[in-house]
Amino acid sequence: MSAVLQETLQDAALRRFIDVQNVAQTFRTSKGEFPALRDIDLRIARGEFVSLIGHSGCGKSTLLNLIAGLARPTSGALLCAGREINGPGPERAVVFQNHSLLPWLTCFDNVHLAVERVFGARESRTQLAARTEAALELVGLSHAAHKRPGEISGGMKQRVGIARALSMEPQVLLMDEPFGALDALTRAKLQDELLDIVARSQRTVVMVTHDVDEAVLLSDRIVMLTNGPAATIGEILEVPLARPRSRVALAEDEGYQRCRKAVIDFLYTRQGHVEKE
């Protein structure tokens, strides 16, 4: 194989790091079958930050769960790094809206549990402790390592959840509205911190969000889903904003405003007819 061909194949593999191929998901309910997703085709490159956005009931979290391996598609296939996703794996870590910390353990111990599960069979106690400390340092919580969840704020708890996910050294970070339960100021602070964390860790990120500004600020691409049932990808928006990004600098940026307008137009003009429950 020539060097040029090999490099071309490697580039293609990087562009298809996460590969969602013609995926559909139908749930069985007491009222019959419910088609949540249909015809989902999506390629995500290594190191890319992609947001999934759409109205409630459009299947954003369902798609994220499929990528996480927490559910299996009714049809189609999902691959990560060329391997079919058949279940959860340490290369894909999930951060939920609910931090799910064990309240009787310290921040250090909550993170250490994940580290031990992934690396415990082949690393010493000292190495495991070093990994845990490094993850907490990455999210700026070294000073709170020995505090329990009840002794820290909601924003800090969510940072512990992010530290726990990153401590496993996943190739992909999956985030399901990680800041949705926080107040506006805390949310903005954590968004800024996430920009910095992702830049330093070079992780591939897929994030579910309802927040247009959050999607534009953080993403390389925004995947906009049509209304459910049988939701699909309506449009994918490239966000051509240079990194590193500053929320203050972008506030008056024309490119930022164009992206924001495009997402709002899709959600509230083209997909504004959300069915009443």
pLDDT tens across 64-116, in order? 999 999 999 999 999 999 999 999 998 999 998 777 899 999 999 999 999 99
State phi, psi for 187 to the nearest 5 degrees.
-60, -45
The answer to whether residues 204 and 192 belong to one domain is: yes
Question: ∠17-232-198 over CA atoms, to 5°?
Answer: 35
Q: What is the mean pLDDT of residues 248-253?
A: 90
The answer as to whether 11 is a domain residue is no
194 touches 162 (CB < 8 A):
yes
Q: Of the candidates 154, 176, 181, which has an alpha carbon nearest to the alpha carbon of residue 165?
A: 176
pLDDT of residue 9: 43
The answer to whether residues 161 and 177 belong to one domain is: no
Of residues 179 and 79, more confidently modeled: 79
d(CA 253, CA 195): 18
pLDDT of residue 184: 87
Length of the chain equals: 277
The answer as to whether 161 is a domain residue is yes
The predicted model scores a pTM of 0.89
**Residues 40-44: contacts with CB under 8 Å, at least 24 apart:** 40/76, 40/232, 40/233, 41/233, 42/18, 42/223, 42/233, 42/236, 43/15, 43/16, 43/18, 43/19, 44/17, 44/18, 44/19, 44/204, 44/206
Starting at the earlier edge strand, list the strands of the sheet with 204-209: 92-95, 172-176, 204-209, 49-53, 221-225, 233-238
| Residue finishing a domain among 169, 198, 221 | 169
Give the residue numbers spanning the domain of 146: 99-169
The answer as to whether 7 is a domain residue is no
The answer to whether residues 71 and 107 belong to one domain is: no
| CATH number, domain with residue 64 | 3.40.50.300
3 touches 54 (CB < 8 A):
no
